[in-house]
């Protein structure tokens, strides 16, 4: 009995430390959003450059998706092995170190002499870019529950905006100074952000600072095995980001070939259309704070499925692509923000492990979409890509429809448990 009381007391103390009275300062939220967007953008810089990289490193059209896939696999490894460290060590030190190593990995990409070196460096970039998820968990831990949805929404909006603007920035820099300049410039930005965050983030002692690293990793798996809400939201993330990656990993191919034959800059500019949707979807966090998570999820998934109607007309109309991109990215952002706000509430004292485990599903979906879209385009052109993206979107909508009652019961149990505590 004394041990149980001690454990409960420790959890209560950790929860109190992780749940202050209000949101963090606006300047810190803004810095989190910018740093998260910059870190994740590194995973997606290659997408508008796929044709150029394929020519430079002698990769066929069916293998172009491997450039994205190897980065996403590195990202998945980082989510499993690095993000949980946010529950074990001081997040300020962890964020600063990861950003410094990420800058070094970006320099390695910029100087890669051959395919093997390029793939190894891209895998390292993916693994270290998970610092964004460490920062999402840090932002949530510095925020009172009543404000958590909007803060997570603001920071996650930075993530999605960074993903989308990555294409625009990469396209412009590649046209001006070549593809290697993209990674050189990003290395400089990443190093600068490391210094700023080291000066701004408060030092902290995580609630599981005495837990061995091996047990920390095992507990991540255990959390998802025990809580159906985590599994449902993780699977939704997998399907949603498979649809997202299906579009953005393959759209460069029809846009760079006749009848469009667009430049890197023009291809990257379509990221601006998607960013408009992502910025608008920042309201999803506020909707979650008002108890509208299920309605937001259902409406967003329906919108995701509908977005493939205009996207299917990409070879006939660039306006159709722009409209479809806004709809798709709005939907993805709304689901993603809602997911992260919900999963964090399962165990706030294990926030980094939960966010990291959830994002493994995200990364797996992104890798699946990248690999699948390359094969679909090689086999059936843009029609095959559109069918694949529609299938992922409809599967996500069907999953939500068939599990929403179980999801609601799980959420109610968690709510009652927090009240009891």
- For the CA atoms of 44, 50, 380, 302, the dihedral, rounded to the nearest 10 degrees, stands at 20
Give residues with Cβ within 8 angstroms of 206, minimum separation 6.
86, 87, 88, 89, 90, 91, 352
Q: pLDDT at residue 15 above 60? A: no
Q: Give residue 274's pLDDT.
A: 66
- Looking at residue 7, its pLDDT comes to 36
pLDDT band, residue 10 (cuts 50/70/90):
very low
The answer to whether residues 80 and 195 touch, using CB atoms and an 8 Å cutoff, is: no
Would the pTM count as exceeding 0.85?
no
Q: List Cα–Cα distances, 201 to 32, 78, 95, 264, 317, in angstroms.
A: 10, 22, 9, 37, 46
Confidence at 340, pLDDT banded by 50, 70, 90: confident
Which tens digits make up the pLDDT trace of 167-185? 788 888 988 999 999 999 9
Q: What is the predicted pLDDT for the residue at 419?
A: 41
Lowest mean pLDDT among 1-5, 202-206, 259-263, 390-394: 1-5
Own/partner pairs, 50-56, CB within 8 angstroms, 24+ separation: 50/249, 50/252, 50/253, 51/252, 51/253, 51/256, 52/174, 52/179, 52/264, 53/118, 53/179, 56/179
Span 19-51, pLDDT tens digits: 456 777 788 889 999 999 999 999 888 877 888
How far apart are alpha carbons 64 and 326 in whole angstroms? 25
Q: Mean pLDDT for the chain?
A: 83
pLDDT of residue 8: 35
Which one of 19-23, 47-51, 306-310, 402-406 scores highest in mean pLDDT? 306-310
- Nearest one of 316, 311, 212, 312 to 270, comparing CA atoms: 311
Q: Mean per-residue pLDDT for 134-157?
A: 81
Convert the pLDDT of each residue in 347-382 to its tens digit.
887 877 888 889 889 888 988 998 899 889 989 999
Predicted confidence (pLDDT) at residue 388 exceeds the cutoff of 90? yes
Residues 113-127 have a mean pLDDT of 92
Residue 87 binned pLDDT confidence (cut-offs 50, 70, 90): confident
Query: Which has the minimum average pLDDT: 88-102, 107-121, 280-294?
Result: 280-294
Show Cβ contacts of residue 323 under 8 Å, excluding neighbours closer than 6 positions: 273, 310
The helices-and-strands tally (H runs, E runs) of the chain is 17, 0
Terminal-to-terminal C-alpha distance of the chain: 17
Residue 309 has pLDDT above 80, yes or no: yes
% residues pLDDT > 90 (the chain): 37
280 vs 54, which has greater pLDDT? 54
Is residue 67 predicted with pLDDT exceeding 70?
yes
Q: Which of 308, 105, 289 is nearest to 194 (CA)?
A: 105
pLDDT band at 408 (very low <50, low <70, confident <90, very high): low
* Cα gap 336→233, rounded to integer Å: 9
What letter would DSSP give residue 420? H
Judged by average pLDDT, the poorest of 68-72, 305-309, 320-324 is 68-72
Ranking 64-78, 269-283, 353-367 by mean pLDDT, the lowest is: 269-283
- Range 52-72 burial, b when 16+ CB lie within 10 A, else e: bbbeebebeeebbbbbbbbbb
Q: Which residues contact 184 (CB under 8 A, 6 or more apart)?
A: 106, 107, 110
Greater model confidence, 277 or 40: 40
Residue 2 clears pLDDT 60, i.e. is over it:
no
């Amino acid at each position: 009995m004394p041990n149980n009381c001690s454990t409960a007391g420790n959890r209560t103390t950790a929860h109190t430390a992780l749940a202050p009275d209000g949101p963090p300062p606006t300047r810190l939220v803004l810095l989190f959003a910018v740093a998260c967007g910059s870190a994740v953008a590194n995973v997606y810089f290659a997408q508008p450059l796929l044709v150029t990289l394929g020519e430079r490193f002698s990769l066929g059209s069916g293998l172009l998706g491997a450039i994205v896939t190897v980065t996403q696999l590195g990202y998945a490894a980082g989510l499993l092995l690095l993000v949980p460290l946010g529950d074990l060590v001081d997040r300020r030190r962890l964020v600063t170190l990861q950003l410094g190593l990420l800058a070094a990995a970006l320099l390695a990409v910029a100087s890669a002499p051959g395919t093997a070196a390029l793939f190894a460096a891209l895998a390292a970039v993916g693994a270290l870019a998970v610092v964004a998820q460490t920062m999402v968990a840090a932002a949530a831990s510095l925020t009172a529950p009543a404000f958590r949805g909007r803060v997570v929404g603001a920071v996650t909006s930075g993530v999605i905006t960074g993903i989308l603007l990555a294409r625009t920035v990469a396209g412009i820099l590649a046209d001006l100074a070549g593809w290697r300049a993209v990674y050189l410039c990003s290395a400089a930005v990443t190093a600068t952000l490391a210094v700023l965050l080291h000066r701004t983030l408060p030092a902290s002692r995580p609630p599981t600072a005495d837990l061995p690293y091996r047990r920390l990793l095992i507990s991540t798996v255990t959390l998802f095995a025990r809580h159906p809400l985590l599994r449902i939201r993780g699977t939704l993330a997998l399907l949603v980001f498979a649809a997202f990656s299906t579009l953005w990993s393959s759209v460069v191919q029809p846009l760079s070939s006749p009848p469009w034959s667009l430049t890197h800059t023009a291809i990257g500019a379509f990221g601006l259309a998607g960013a408009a949707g992502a910025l608008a979807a920042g309201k999803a966090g506020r909707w979650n704070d008002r108890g509208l998570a299920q309605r937001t999820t259902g409406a967003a998934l329906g919108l995701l499925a509908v977005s493939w109607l205009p996207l299917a007309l990409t070879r006939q109309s660039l306006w159709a692509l722009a409209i479809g991109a806004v709809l798709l990215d709005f939907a993805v952002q709304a689901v993603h923000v809602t997911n992260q706000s919900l999963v964090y509430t399962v165990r706030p004292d294990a926030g980094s492990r939960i966010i990291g485990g959830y994002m493994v599903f995200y990364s797996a979906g992104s890798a699946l979409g990248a690999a699948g879209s390359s094969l679909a385009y090689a086999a059936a052109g843009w029609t095959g890509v559109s069918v694949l993206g529609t299938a992922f979107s409809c599967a996500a909508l069907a999953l939500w429809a068939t599990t929403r009652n179980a999801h609601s019961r799980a959420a109610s149990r968690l709510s009652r448990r927090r009240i009891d505590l």
